[in-house]
């Protein structure tokens, strides 16, 4: 299996650093565990693929793609499309929720201001 040892070392170091980075993001609460799971899985599979490049060739044979790198690209692009779509869904949901919140806050504020104004005019005229 022809992959240079330098490239392999770089890939191993890179994927391990990526894994540590993600775990740290979860640790300092900058990334919710719910959304981090997919990234943790991705980084673990990067580590596996760089330590055991045979797995990539095995997968390529399994899905009957002649060149191993093409099999890799196919899998990654598919995964990326799924992730981007999931994000679009999440953004839509957030947008709907934010809109509702903004409307309710605005209505509450208007209500409160009116109450205060009514109270002031009432206390002014005995």
Partner 1 sequence: MRKAHYQKKGTIKGMKALIIIPAYNEAENLPRLFEELDEVAKNADYTIDVLIINDCSKDNTLAVCREHGVKVVTLPVNLGIGGAVQTGYRYAFYHKYDIAIQIDGDGQHDPQFIPYLIERIEQGNHLCIGSRFIENEGFQSSRIRRVGIRYFSWLIWFLTGKRITDPTSGFRACGKEVIRLFAQDYPKDYPEPETVVTVLRNKLKVSEMPVIMRAREGGKSSITNLKGIYYMIKVTLAIMIASISRKAR
The contact set with partner 1 (CB under 8 A) reads: 95, 98-99, 102-107, 109-110, 114
Asked if residues 36 and 29 have their Cβ atoms less than 8 Å apart, the reply is no
Q: What is the CB neighbour count within 10 angstroms for residue 60?
A: 19
Q: Looking at beta carbons only, is 7 or 95 nearer to partner 1? A: 95
Asked if residues 36 and 27 have their Cβ atoms less than 8 Å apart, the reply is no
Q: Looking at beta carbons only, is 32 or 104 nearer to partner 1? A: 104
Report the nearest approach of partner 1 to the CB of residue 82 (Å).
24
Contacts of 59 (CB under 8 A, 6+ apart): 71, 72, 75
Report the nearest approach of partner 1 to the CB of residue 32 (Å).
23
Report the nearest approach of partner 1 to the CB of residue 114 (Å).
8
Q: Looking at beta carbons only, is 61 or 99 nearer to partner 1? A: 99
Structure tokens at 1: 């299996």
Q: Looking at beta carbons only, is 54 or 103 nearer to partner 1? A: 103
Distance CA 85, CA 82 (A): 5
């Amino acid at each position: 299996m022809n992959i240079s040892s330098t490239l392999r070392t770089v890939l191993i170091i890179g994927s391990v650093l990526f894994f540590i980075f993600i775990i740290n993001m979860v640790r300092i609460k900058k990334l919710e565990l719910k959304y981090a799971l997919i990234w943790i899985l991705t980084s673990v599979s990067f580590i596996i693929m760089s330590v055991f490049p045979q797995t990539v060739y095995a997968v390529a044979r399994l899905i009957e793609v002649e060149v191993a790198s093409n099999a890799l690209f196919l899998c990654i692009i598919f995964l990326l499309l799924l992730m981007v779509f999931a994000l679009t869904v999440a953004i839509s949901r957030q947008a709907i929720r934010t809109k509702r919140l903004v409307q309710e806050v605005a209505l509450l504020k208007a209500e409160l201001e009116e109450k205060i104004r009514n109270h002031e005019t009432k206390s002014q005229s005995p």
